[in-house]
Amino acid sequence: MKGTVIRNTGSAYTVRTDGGEEVSCRIKGNFRIKGIRTTNPVAVGDRVVFDEPGPDGVALITAIEPRRNYIIRRASNLSKAASIIAANVDAALLVVTLAHPSTSTTFIDRFLATARAYGVPAILAINKTDLLDDAESRELLDAVAYLYRSIGYQVAEVSAKTGLGLDGLRQLLAGRTTLFSGNSGVGKSSLINALVPGLQLRTAKISDAHDTGMHTTTFSEMYPLPGGGNIIDTPGVRGFGTVDFDRAEVGHFFPEIFEESHNCRFSNCTHTHEPGCAVLAAVDDCRIAASRYNSYLSIVNDTGDESDKYRKPQ
């Protein structure tokens, strides 16, 4: 029998057959995919083969069909453990906020670079725009949206609370299977609830003391969208560690850096100190944003640090 994994709790799986039946499944303890070492060998979105359910109603997954794509995330701490966020997706949507809480540009850029590295188109959704009610906040929103649109990313300015921008977002998601990710507290669950009426995912208030969110999504699950398409909801994360990046290729996953790199004097330029580096010149001329360049360096150094030790435009 075959089907698509629609829920992964870490120890159990739910598979939806092509006929629409949902089957509880599990895997053998030594189940692994050749060439990929992760904490979860089976991910939501995977097409799998499974046996007939046993007396307990649980089936055994025996194989995973070849993946069209997938995205891997490594924990942002010192752990080298990596997990597959989702497989066989048409797009990856990152939900961010500019206030209560504020999503760091390093987190945004690491996610976008990872999606690009794995061949998945990325969308940026700036949520809680209803909280940006003064001139300074609106200026920040315009600047962030302009930055990422100028690079080539689709940016949706939305409010799950008021419904602002949701019609446009629905159009971007229609007919596609889209991974939803984001820091805890950015309103990801509230946004999904607004897009899928009646779903009623659990939400939590932001901590007043630390302006951070609580994890309300504890496992990954796929939900059908009204009118066609699917959303894959994933647990909120506090950091985004990258994996499998060759230091010499990191610039390929930053479109504006890759474009400028064609003009560097040396073909093996690292864009950190070399004479005749077109990327450094573009940073100095503000044609490449300092925040993006710092994010590039954080991946090259694999530190995730956002301090001022990075080279800034003169």
The answer to whether residues 204 and 101 belong to one domain is yes
Structure tokens at 214: 């609580």
What's the number of domains the chain is made of? 3
Nearest to 90 by CA among 45, 111, 121: 121
The answer to whether residues 102 and 218 belong to one domain is yes
Residue 168 domain-assigned? yes
Residue 240 domain-assigned? no
Q: What is the pLDDT of residues 234-272, one digit of tens each?
A: 887 655 656 667 888 999 999 999 999 999 999 999 999
Residue 294 domain-assigned? yes
Residue 238 domain-assigned? no
Measured CA to CA, the distance from residue 279 to residue 159 in angstroms comes to: 36
Kindly tell me the sign of the dihedral angle through the C-alpha atoms of 148, 245, 309, 265: negative
Taking the complete model, does pTM exceed 0.95, yes or no?
no
Residue 103 domain-assigned? yes
The answer to whether residues 254 and 290 belong to one domain is yes
Residue 55 domain-assigned? yes
pLDDT at 144: 97
Lowest model confidence (mean pLDDT) among 6-20, 96-110, 198-212: 198-212
The residue segments making up the domain with residue 262 are 247-301
**What value does the mean pLDDT of the chain take?**
87
The answer to whether residues 196 and 108 belong to one domain is yes
The answer to whether residues 286 and 260 belong to one domain is yes
The answer to whether residues 79 and 191 belong to one domain is yes
Q: What percent of the chain has pLDDT over 70?
A: 82
Residue where the block lists tokens 């303890």: 29
The answer to whether residues 228 and 291 belong to one domain is no
Given 233, 259, 285, the domain boundary residue is: 233
Residue 228 domain-assigned? yes
* 8-state DSSP, 205: P
The answer to whether residues 192 and 52 belong to one domain is no
